[in-house]
Chain A
Amino acid sequence: SLSLFAIIRYCLYILFFTGLSPFLFCRRQQYVGKVRFAHFDTHVQSSKKVVVATEKNVFAALNTRTGELFWRHVDKTGSEGNIDALLLQGADAVLVVGNGRLLRSWEVNIGGLNWEILLDSGSFQSACLVGQQDNVKYVAVLKKTVISLHYLSNGHQKWIENLPDSETVDYQAVYSGGNGEVYVLGVVPHSHIAVVVYSVDDGEILKQFSVEAAWLSNIQTSCAVVGKGMLTCVDSTTLSLYMLDLHTQLQMTQLPLQTLGLEVDPGFHPTLVSTQPNAARQPLSEFFLQLGPEHYVLLQLNNGQIVTLRDFKPAMLVSFATTGEKTVAAVMSPKNKTACGLNLFSADTGRRLLDTTLIFNMDPYGGKPETLYVQAFLKKDDSVGYRAIVQTEDHTLTFLQQPGRVMWTREEALSDVVTMEMVDLPLTGTQAELEGEFGKKADGLMSMVLKRLSSQFILLQAWVSHLWKLFYDARKPRSQVKNDVTIENLSRDEFNLQKMMVMVTASGKLFGIDSKTGTIVWKHYLDNIPSNAAFKLMVQRTTAHFPHPPQCTLLIKDKDTGLATLHVFNPIFGKKSHITPPALPQPILQSLLLPLMDQDYAKVLLLVDDQYKVSAFPSTKNVLQQLQEMASSIFFYLVDSSQGRLSGYRLRTDLSTELIWEVVIPPEIQRIVSVKGKRPNEHVHSQGRVMGDRSVLYKYLNPNLLAIVTESTDSHQERSFVGILLIDGVTGRIIHEAVQRKTKGPVHVVHSENWVVYEYWSTKSRRNEFSVIELYEGMELYNSTVFSSLDRPHAPQVLQQSYIFPSAISTLEATLTEKGITSRHLLIGLPSGGILSLPKMFLDPRRPEIVTEQSREENLIPYAPELPIRTEWYINYNQTISRVRGIYTAPSGLESTCLVVAYGLDIYQTRVYPSKQFDVLKDDYDYMLISSVLFALFFATMISKRLAEVKLLNRAWR
């Protein structure tokens, strides 16, 4: 009967739990980066592709209907993968990569490579498509000293020619008008323009001449070829246009802008925008001249005369677009503070086309429009329609369709997430209201009772509506349930699994993303961010202190000057806080968030400047008083990697500091590459490990321990090494030191609990290796109640073991859970795009070489040199993430569950269960079965009771 009860209780217990499906909670968002070149694919009428090449060395095709990726190719980072040029011809896209190192041709429909050839060395200048008789067959690549012509079909070199006088002439541009000639334009600064004309057929120099142009220094920024081979340049000093007919090679004719009635904005360098719709034909004779930041003119070259077609002022952006035989000019002009208008104009007349206005609403928290890409198409009635992509300063791409409908937006700033935090969502609005009631001052018993009743009623109402919604949603198929996330319905769930991800990107745009759906809840572009800024994001106040709003502080530091600014904001709504952060006139060396709180529950942020003075934020009286009391127990450390100096300081009561220890690592031998402490929100559940013989090995849990990784300055593969140093951050005592010889970085480190795991490259065996260091106090604990760095006489026992890892790695992080009961896993980001969840069990220095009874009792895995990679351990399955740069882990309300966000070029969020979901039911749990068993048991007891009664009665009759 007891077991029966147990079953029934278990069933009831189960019925009250809800299953959570792991598949519903992983989401990947793919990005490409800031767009450098974009071309609409027009070779098929119905094509939905736009081909983009970005500053992140990514070449991709986007779907113009949805904004999703058709395919994407991620090249090497850095200058070697840099895309110099993108030329689109039919279904082939030709790319010049790595400063003219490679020439690649891609098949745009499939996304496969047609061919790739290695070009001769020499820095890249320019490239263009070359056509003959309306047929584009070649691509010309101009380098500093040579020009080469390649077949578009297979990349083979048709000819290569050295440029004459390349020591003196700076060749900058190449142009072909489709008449069997290739023009190479060079400049001798402050002297003349040099033009060399090559024959397409055999590379023979047909003509070579130079024309005086003492004012010219850069052809690409100030010149354009217009109409029938008319090289047109604009000079900002003489404020005039210069024209040179490349066919007749006469003098350069000067045309002062004044004679055209045009005026350049003071201090502005005018530029030209021309268009050549077909590489086998001449460019159009119409072109734009930009006279000021918001001033353009559409000009036409007509029989050697310049005619002004239309003056656009104000106009922010202009672009040409061609469809069929028609070319139009799109002009974007500001309408009011938050909107811009886009209009089409006929290129050859400058007349405005009817019904082509498009309104672009600018995000008040975004940047200004920066680039405009226009796709024109012919409608059924032969009029021109268009779609446009607007790129703004904050790297957002917006695709617009008439009459101003936003088809999609892509937040490409998210391709470069620098740091992030997860913040708990607030309780539901009604609950918060209830809390607010008690936060206020009491005003009479009666009103309090009434308030209480009314708030209870509101709660009841909310509950009923919630139930109704649940019921309503349950009837709909899962896919149709709306996932609209708005600020109103953002609320914490039962297990605190849904959080707000606050992401800081390198461009200075901040995002608030709902972790459950991946929806961007808010975004905020901070302009005036220095290009080399370092960011540090801190949560000063969580949502737990209603009615005080949660508060995050972003420290933005210029890496060169060290000067920093603070941006204080609400992480749930993204609004800038009304609190004015202190101005920081001195360079900041270090910032630390103390567990101390002011009277408004905001944690205190300490900033150490280069005079070793400390300032606090917030700096109320209360805080300063607390700081004075606590000062003797506040220690911090500074790292100067150029000097190899680590120094520890103690805070004085007057907020000055006192140097208490210093460790110098000679910088001529080795340099400090990273310093890792433990995460402050980490919990360790068990103080020790139970051994096979039932004794306990206690962990050395020093919260002040720092792991310092050094690399040798000597990079010779026989002499290079990687060192690791464990230092107590309070006393400066060196706890342990280890050196791995014949190894080099990059080193990835994780420091947690009583262990440090690091990964390096072994130059001797040419493989990646992991090493783990674990620290133990021994069989007895010195002081089990509290850990003090100042009172720990015994040095810990150190165990270390190393393993081979059969892949390179990009990043390393450890899982984190609420109470630390769940076993730990290491999350390893691989270059292949996978994220591997490797149990920490495999990285345990106590793994025995010989299996004994005791080690088996302890569940130790026998030592094997190579760590396994099992495909089931990939937490992102086939959702690969390119260039993983960081993995963020956060605990959830469920002990079994750890929230994971991996970011790099893509963003991937998921949940991991290192010890399986021991506190949650599987989502396919058979509720029918359990309830039918329950009912069956119930009826069985009823029936057996009845039967037993009958039996008893019969027996009594006997």
Chain B
Amino acid sequence: NLHKKNLIYYAGVSSQSNGDRFKIEGRAIVPGVKTQDWVSTARVLVEGEEYVGFLRTDGSFAVNDIPSGSYVVEVVTPTFRFEPVRVDITSKGKMRARLVNFIKTSEVIRQPYPLQIRGSPQSYFMRRETWGWTDFLMNPMVMMMVLPLLIIVLLPKVVNTNDPEMRKEMEQSMNMLNPNPELPDVSELMTKLFSGSKGSGKAGGSSKGTRPAVKRR
């Protein structure tokens, strides 16, 4: 109990000798999410893992014991994304926070200090390409096939086919549409291929050449 008073004095001085070390303070919030739900998974990383800090239960943090310099401060959690901030500490302990810009490293866009970092949900997944009937139907190829089909089916209904003049006109146009009667009929070709698959197997490759449909007539 002799030296008590000057002891306290001395202690004050000794904390001063620690003066070239500073602390980065701030607060991280995720709008709409209680901090208690995510602080246990969060860390504050200063320049990679060079200095590590942890979050208090209210989302605020302080990373102690940092010498002067320029650091990228980042709050990391698996579920949320926080923008990193660059913090400059002068040798006298003046703090400045600015946007991180790795290309123009000297550019200064001020950010509030103590740091205010907002998080947003992080999505790790790309929307998977699903395959549904709508995708199939909206396919341009399918549209190109379906639309003419509709026209073929619906047009005779719309246009009066009982009108002999119209009929004649249509026949004429149909003939124009099918200028080459020598072309094989698709449906027939198909049936031939399927019914004759056994025969063709035996015959080797001889049945490759299909007889034109006209000859059958």
- Contact assessment for B194 and A162 in the assembled complex, using a CB-CB cutoff below 8 Å: no
- Say if the beta carbon of A941 comes within 8 Å of chain B: yes
- Contact assessment for A955 and B79 in the assembled complex, using a CB-CB cutoff below 8 Å: no
- Say if the beta carbon of A487 comes within 8 Å of chain B: no
The winner among B4, B79, B130 for most chain A CB atoms within 10 A is B4
- Contact assessment for A831 and B103 in the assembled complex, using a CB-CB cutoff below 8 Å: no
- Contact assessment for A160 and B11 in the assembled complex, using a CB-CB cutoff below 8 Å: yes
Give residues of chain B (1-32) contacting chain A, Cβ–Cβ below 8 Å: 1-4, 7-8, 10-11, 14-15, 17-18, 21, 23
What residues of B have a CB within 8 angstroms of the CB of A865 in the complex?
103
In the complex the two chains form, what is the Cα distance from A955 to B214 in whole Å?
12
Per-residue CB contact flags for chain A residues 912-955 toward chain B (1 = under 8 Å, else 0) read 00000000000010100100000000000100110111001001
In the complex the two chains form, what is the Cα distance from A101 to B193 in whole Å?
86
- Say if the beta carbon of B90 comes within 8 Å of chain A: no
- Contact assessment for A146 and B11 in the assembled complex, using a CB-CB cutoff below 8 Å: yes
- Say if the beta carbon of A765 comes within 8 Å of chain B: yes
Closest to A69 in B: B40
- Contact assessment for B103 and A804 in the assembled complex, using a CB-CB cutoff below 8 Å: yes
What residues of B have a CB within 8 angstroms of the CB of A114 in the complex?
56-57
| Extra A-B contacts (5), CB below 8 Å, given A804-B102, A831-B45, A926-B131 | A70-B40, A81-B52, A112-B35, A114-B56, A948-B187
- Contact assessment for A110 and B39 in the assembled complex, using a CB-CB cutoff below 8 Å: yes
Per-residue CB contact flags for chain A residues 188-223 toward chain B (1 = under 8 Å, else 0) read 000000000000000111100000000000000000
Per-residue CB contact flags for chain A residues 280-296 toward chain B (1 = under 8 Å, else 0) read 00000000000000000
- Say if the beta carbon of A626 comes within 8 Å of chain B: no
- Contact assessment for B124 and A877 in the assembled complex, using a CB-CB cutoff below 8 Å: yes
- Say if the beta carbon of A592 comes within 8 Å of chain B: no
Give residues of chain A (93-121) contacting chain B, Cβ–Cβ below 8 Å: 101-102, 104, 107, 110-116, 118, 120-121
Q: Which residues of B are in contact with A by a Cβ distance under 8 Å?
A: 1-4, 7-8, 10-11, 14-15, 17-18, 21, 23, 35-36, 39-41, 43, 45, 47-49, 51-57, 61-62, 64-65, 70, 74, 76, 78-79, 81, 100, 102-103, 105, 122-126, 128, 130-131, 186-191, 193-195, 216-217
In the complex the two chains form, what is the Cα distance from A26 to B102 in whole Å?
33
Closest to B184 in A: A1
In the complex the two chains form, what is the Cα distance from A160 to B53 in whole Å?
25
Which of A71-79, A424-432, A509-517, A729-737 lies at the interface? Answer: A71-79
The A interface is mostly helix, strand or loop, or mixed, namely mixed
In the complex the two chains form, what is the Cα distance from A2 to B119 in whole Å?
56
Q: Nearest-CB distance from A160 to chain B (Å)?
A: 5
- Contact assessment for B76 and A871 in the assembled complex, using a CB-CB cutoff below 8 Å: no
With contacts A1-B190, A877-B125 known, is A75 near B56, CB below 8 A? no
In the complex the two chains form, what is the Cα distance from A810 to B41 in whole Å?
19
- Contact assessment for A120 and B57 in the assembled complex, using a CB-CB cutoff below 8 Å: no
- Contact assessment for A944 and B57 in the assembled complex, using a CB-CB cutoff below 8 Å: no
In the complex the two chains form, what is the Cα distance from A862 to B76 in whole Å?
31
Closest to B57 in A: A112
In the complex the two chains form, what is the Cα distance from A745 to B114 in whole Å?
31
Q: Which of A205, A806, A878, A944 contacts B78 (CB 8 A)?
A: A878
- Contact assessment for A112 and B55 in the assembled complex, using a CB-CB cutoff below 8 Å: yes
- Say if the beta carbon of A874 comes within 8 Å of chain B: yes
- Say if the beta carbon of A156 comes within 8 Å of chain B: no
- Say if the beta carbon of A533 comes within 8 Å of chain B: no
Q: List 9 A-B contacts (CB under 8 A).
A: A112-B55, A113-B56, A113-B61, A116-B64, A766-B70, A831-B45, A871-B124, A926-B131, A948-B191
Closest to A872 in B: B126
What residues of A have a CB within 8 angstroms of the CB of B128 in the complex?
924
In the complex the two chains form, what is the Cα distance from A877 to B1 in whole Å?
60
What residues of B have a CB within 8 angstroms of the CB of A945 in the complex?
190-191, 194-195
Per-residue CB contact flags for chain A residues 375-396 toward chain B (1 = under 8 Å, else 0) read 0000000000000000000000
In the complex the two chains form, what is the Cα distance from A128 to B131 in whole Å?
65
Q: Which of A102, A146, A162, A866 contacts B65 (CB 8 A)?
A: A102
With contacts A204-B4, A767-B105 known, is A880 near B55, CB below 8 A? no
Q: Which of B45, B125, B186 contacts A872 (CB 8 A)?
A: B125
Q: Nearest-CB distance from A394 to chain B (Å)?
A: 28
Give residues of chain A (62-94) contacting chain B, Cβ–Cβ below 8 Å: 70-71, 73-77, 81
The winner among B36, B54, B81, B128 for most chain A CB atoms within 10 A is B54
- Contact assessment for A164 and B187 in the assembled complex, using a CB-CB cutoff below 8 Å: no
- Contact assessment for A766 and B78 in the assembled complex, using a CB-CB cutoff below 8 Å: no
Closest to A164 in B: B3
In the complex the two chains form, what is the Cα distance from A804 to B131 in whole Å?
39
- Contact assessment for A205 and B131 in the assembled complex, using a CB-CB cutoff below 8 Å: no
- Contact assessment for B131 and A929 in the assembled complex, using a CB-CB cutoff below 8 Å: yes
In the complex the two chains form, what is the Cα distance from A256 to B74 in whole Å?
61
- Say if the beta carbon of A832 comes within 8 Å of chain B: yes
With contacts A118-B23, A832-B45 known, is A872 near B124, CB below 8 A? yes
What residues of A have a CB within 8 angstroms of the CB of B53 in the complex?
116
- Say if the beta carbon of A323 comes within 8 Å of chain B: no
What residues of A have a CB within 8 angstroms of the CB of B8 in the complex?
159-161
- Say if the beta carbon of A543 comes within 8 Å of chain B: no
Q: Which of A806, A872, A941 contacts B190 (CB 8 A)?
A: A941
In the complex the two chains form, what is the Cα distance from A952 to B39 in whole Å?
79
- Say if the beta carbon of A879 comes within 8 Å of chain B: yes
Closest to B18 in A: A121
In the complex the two chains form, what is the Cα distance from A160 to B4 in whole Å?
10
What residues of A have a CB within 8 angstroms of the CB of B217 in the complex?
955
What residues of B have a CB within 8 angstroms of the CB of A926 in the complex?
131
Per-residue CB contact flags for chain A residues 764-804 toward chain B (1 = under 8 Å, else 0) read 01110000000000000000000000000000000000001
Q: Which of B7, B15, B76, B100 contacts A161 (CB 8 A)?
A: B7
Q: Nearest-CB distance from B31 to chain A (Å)?
A: 19
With contacts A101-B65, A110-B36, A808-B49 known, is A115 near B131, CB below 8 A? no
- Contact assessment for A832 and B3 in the assembled complex, using a CB-CB cutoff below 8 Å: no
With contacts A76-B52, A102-B65, A111-B40 known, is A121 near B47, CB below 8 A? no
- Contact assessment for B64 and A118 in the assembled complex, using a CB-CB cutoff below 8 Å: yes
Per-residue CB contact flags for chain A residues 115-131 toward chain B (1 = under 8 Å, else 0) read 11010110000000000
Closest to A4 in B: B190
- Contact assessment for B103 and A866 in the assembled complex, using a CB-CB cutoff below 8 Å: yes
In the complex the two chains form, what is the Cα distance from A880 to B122 in whole Å?
13
- Contact assessment for A162 and B52 in the assembled complex, using a CB-CB cutoff below 8 Å: no
Q: Nearest-CB distance from A705 to chain B (Å)?
A: 30
- Contact assessment for B126 and A766 in the assembled complex, using a CB-CB cutoff below 8 Å: no
In the complex the two chains form, what is the Cα distance from A952 to B191 in whole Å?
12
Q: Nearest-CB distance from B126 to chain A (Å)?
A: 5
Closest to B195 in A: A945
- Say if the beta carbon of A508 comes within 8 Å of chain B: no
In the complex the two chains form, what is the Cα distance from A947 to B78 in whole Å?
63
Q: Which of A71, A807, A871 contacts B41 (CB 8 A)?
A: A71
Give residues of chain A (746-777) contacting chain B, Cβ–Cβ below 8 Å: 765-767
The winner among A1, A77, A112, A941 for most chain B CB atoms within 10 A is A112
What residues of B have a CB within 8 angstroms of the CB of A872 in the complex?
123-126
Q: Which of A204, A866, A880 contacts B1 (CB 8 A)?
A: A204
Q: Which of B36, B131, B191 contacts A949 (CB 8 A)?
A: B191
Q: Nearest-CB distance from B34 to chain A (Å)?
A: 10
- Contact assessment for B123 and A112 in the assembled complex, using a CB-CB cutoff below 8 Å: no
What residues of B have a CB within 8 angstroms of the CB of A810 in the complex?
49
With contacts A113-B54, A118-B18, A120-B14 known, is A205 near B1, CB below 8 A? yes
- Contact assessment for A878 and B79 in the assembled complex, using a CB-CB cutoff below 8 Å: yes
- Contact assessment for B17 and A121 in the assembled complex, using a CB-CB cutoff below 8 Å: yes
In the complex the two chains form, what is the Cα distance from A73 to B42 in whole Å?
8
Q: Nearest-CB distance from B63 to chain A (Å)?
A: 9
Closest to B35 in A: A112
What residues of B have a CB within 8 angstroms of the CB of A116 in the complex?
53-54, 62, 64
- Say if the beta carbon of A833 comes within 8 Å of chain B: yes
In the complex the two chains form, what is the Cα distance from A818 to B15 in whole Å?
61
The winner among B35, B102, B105, B191 for most chain A CB atoms within 10 A is B102
What residues of B have a CB within 8 angstroms of the CB of A944 in the complex?
187, 190-191
With contacts A162-B7, A204-B1 known, is A115 near B56, CB below 8 A? yes
Q: Nearest-CB distance from B199 to chain A (Å)?
A: 15
Closest to B51 in A: A76
